Structure 1
Amino acid sequence: MRELAHVLLHGPSTLTPAERELIATYVSSRNDCFFCQTSHGAAAAAHLGNDWTLVNEVRVNFEQANVSPKLKALLAIAGKVQQGGKCVTEADIARARAEGATDLELHDTVLIAAAFSMYNRYVDGLATWQPQDTAMYDAMGQHLAEHGYITPSEKR
């Protein structure tokens, strides 16, 4: 799972790492997964120059957040995927395309939203303790932003 998440959030894409982390954060917040929304929110904030305000705006009401119209359309799709893939409509896809989203960006958005819905259920389903120390998440987010899921011992 870790390798897939690394590719989704850090592999080649026309979506920026910040945009992909915002999608992961948004879906994780809708799933109420504290660990994932906080760690990936911290990674998004790190990509955005530690702009937690924008991350929180996306979590609370992305349509009012200071993000591009294209990202708003992609977040709308991600939210529908979080509910169920069949919730995405032709109008949702048309909106995203009208805002400049490519087929690859639509694909990446849907895959991030579906994968993080699964990851959220996995993390919460283990019923493990999730640290509440926000400073720890800031450090984790900085590592994710800089290195993804690769640990120092895995660097080649």
Structure 2
Amino acid sequence: MAHIDLGLDEKAHPGIVGPLRFRPETAKPLGELAEVLLRAPHPTLTPGERELIAAYVSGLNDCDFCRSSHAASAAAQLPAGMPLVDQVRADVGTAPVGARLRALLQIAAAVRRSGREVTTGLVETARTAGATDLEIHDTVLIAAAFCMFNRYVDGLGTWTPRDPEAYARAAGHLVANGYLAI
């Protein structure tokens, strides 16, 4: 049960959905932020790659709901699907991703620990691997935003489904309709 009474059936409104329904005034800008970060047109980072960054950071933060939901969304949008997402979550160093994405995920992990852990060396490694300044910027912002989203979900003690199929269904809805339709 959530730490506060959201006035909702928590199983019908799991994870972040309940708090967003509870406080629509904050739900709108949070939904808009997620939409821009993860789905808006981007010259080089695909929606699947951006969802993978969100899932990776959420996993590092031990936020079960966000990790599972964004892993399912990433898997739905990446050609290699859930096996790739699982490999990244298990060991980004050996996962079958390109050097550019691996470097961006390492930057995301640094942001998750502290923004000050994003070093010149990490940025130079990403640039050498082909990452643009826009990709580095957006990776830092996605990682920082997901630290906030993870703490929002877990800080309120929201209910988290355990059935992977529930996340797959939600991912299908999300891919089709976006974050503003949550």
Band of TM-score, shorter chain: over 0.9
Residue of 85, 103, 123 corresponding to 1:73: 103
Q: What SS does the aligned partner of 2:160 have?
A: coil
Structure showing greater radius of gyration is 2
Residue of 70, 82, 88 corresponding to 2:118: 88
Please tell me whether the aligned partners of residues 111 and 118 of structure 2 are also in contact (alpha carbons under 8 angstroms): yes
Q: Give the Å deviation of 1:147.
A: 2.5
| Structure 1 position 11 matched with structure 2 position 50 | no
Specify the alignment match of 1:40 in structure 2.
70
Please tell me whether the aligned partners of residues 23 and 109 of structure 1 are also in contact (alpha carbons under 8 angstroms): yes
Residue of 124, 143, 157 corresponding to 1:127: 157
Query: Over residues 45-74 of structure 1, what are the superposed CA-to-partner deviations in whole Å (9 max), with x where a residue is unaligned?
Result: 000247211000111111111111100000
Residue of 150, 153, 156 corresponding to 2:180: 150
Pair 137,50 (structure 1): closer, same or farther in 2 beyond 3 Å: farther
Residue 38 of structure 1 aligns to which amino acid in structure 2? Answer: S
Q: What SS does the aligned partner of 1:96 have?
A: helix
Where in structure 2 are there 5+ consecutive unaligned residues? 1-29
**Higher share of residues assigned helix:** 1
Structure-2 separation of matches of 1:50 and 1:19? 11
Where in structure 1 are there 5+ consecutive unaligned residues? none
Q: Give the Å deviation of 1:124.
A: 0.3
Residue 125 of structure 1 aligns to which amino acid in structure 2? Answer: G
TM-score by length of 2: 0.80
Specify the alignment match of 1:98 in structure 2.
128
Structure-1 separation of matches of 2:157 and 2:35? 23
Specify the alignment match of 2:93 in structure 1.
63
Structure-2 separation of matches of 1:33 and 1:71? 22
Structure-2 separation of matches of 1:107 and 1:122? 23
Residue 3 of structure 1 aligns to which amino acid in structure 2? Answer: E
Q: What SS does the aligned partner of 1:150 have?
A: helix
Pair 23,77 (structure 1): closer, same or farther in 2 beyond 3 Å: same
Query: Over residues 91-134 of structure 1, what are the superposed CA-to-partner deviations in whole Å (9 max), with x where a residue is unaligned?
Result: 00000000111110000000000000000000000112111121
Specify the alignment match of 2:167 in structure 1.
137
Specify the alignment match of 1:54 in structure 2.
84
Residue 134 of structure 2 aligns to which amino acid in structure 1? Answer: L
Identity among equivalent positions (%) equals 55
Moved more, 99-108 or 142-151: 142-151
TM-score by length of 1: 0.93
